[in-house]
Amino acid sequence: MWRLTREEPRPLKLNRRISGQIERPADKRRYVRRLFAGVAGRYDLTNDVMSLGLHRRWKRRLLARAELRPGHRVLDLAAGTGDLARGALDHAARDAFEIRVVAADLTPEMMRVGRGRPGPDLAGWVGADALRLPFPDGAFDRVVVGYGLRNFAGLDAALAESFRCLRPGGRLISLDFGHPRSAALRRIYLGYLDVSTRIAGWAIHRDPESYVYIPESLRRFPDQREMVRRMEAAGFVECGYEDLMMGTMAINYGDRR
C-alpha cells in the first residue's frame, strides 16, 4: 500500500450543467439510472473503445486481489452487464473450483443485456440500490465493484452496506478511475477524458453528451488515498490501493475482520 499523505489536491473545476443534476442524492440516483438505461446496449463496446480493451486486464487484476476460494459467495455490485461477475466464474474455473456469484445493479436495462449474453450462469441477477441492499448480514465472502462506487448516490452509505453484507473475513475490492498524484498529469488526464468521452459518445451513440458524466463524476470522487480513509471509517481493515496506469485507474480494497 502506498504511504498516505495529508497533501490535498486543488479543487477541480466542475461542469455546472451536469452538477445541477447530480448535486442531491435523489437527483444523482435518477440521473445515473437514466444514463445507463440509455447506453446499455453499447456500454461494453464503449468500455472497449475508451480503454483500448485494457479494462479487461484491470478487472482480472481486481479478481486477483479478491483471492477467491472454493465455495465463496461473491456479490458483483453495480454489475452492469455482468462481465466482471462472469469473469469471476471464469477465474475460479481456471483453478478448477466453484463459486457462486450474484449480480446486482440499479438499472434493469443493463442486466437485461447481460442476461441475454452467452457465458457461465450466475446465481442470480438482482435489481438493487447499493445504499439499501436486499441481502442479509454476512451473505457474501467477497464484494467486487467495477466502476461503480463513483456512481452511487451516497458513497459512505454504500460502503457501510457492503460491509454489512460481508461475513467476517470477507473483502471488498473496487476498480475505478483514479486521481494521479501529479497535478500536471491530473489536469492532462481530465482534459483527455473531457474530449474522449465526447468523441466516444458521438461515435457510438451519436450523442456527444452521453458520457460527459464520467469526467464530472471523477472530479467529485475521492482519490485512492482518501478512499482508504473512507473504507476504514466504514469499518474495513487492512485497507489499501493499487495504482494502475500511473494512477489514472486504481483498485481499492479492504477486509471485514
C-alpha closest to that of 142 among 230, 33, 236: 236
Q: Dihedral, CA atoms, 40, 41, 44, 46, nearest 10 degrees?
A: -90
Is the distance from CB of 76 to CB of 141 less than 8 angstroms?
A: no
Q: Give pLDDT, residue 209.
A: 83
Residue 17's pLDDT is what? 62
Cell of 71: 465455495
CA dist., res. 137 & res. 125, Å (int): 19
In whole angstroms, give the CA distance from residue 97 to residue 29. 37
Q: What is the pTM of this model?
A: 0.91
Among left, alpha and beta (phi > 0; psi -120 to 50; other), residue 8 is beta
Positions of the chain with pLDDT lower than 70, given as ranges = 1-17, 19
Listing from the earlier edge strand, what are the strands of the sheet with 249-255?
A: 124-127, 100-105, 73-77, 140-146, 166-177, 249-255, 237-244
pLDDT of residue 19: 66
- For residues 190 and 7, what is the distance between their CA atoms, to the nearest angstrom? 20
Q: What is the residue extent of each domain of the chain?
A: 16-255
Q: How far apart are the first and last CA of the chain?
A: 18
Q: Which fold has domain 16-255?
A: Rossmann fold (3.40.50)
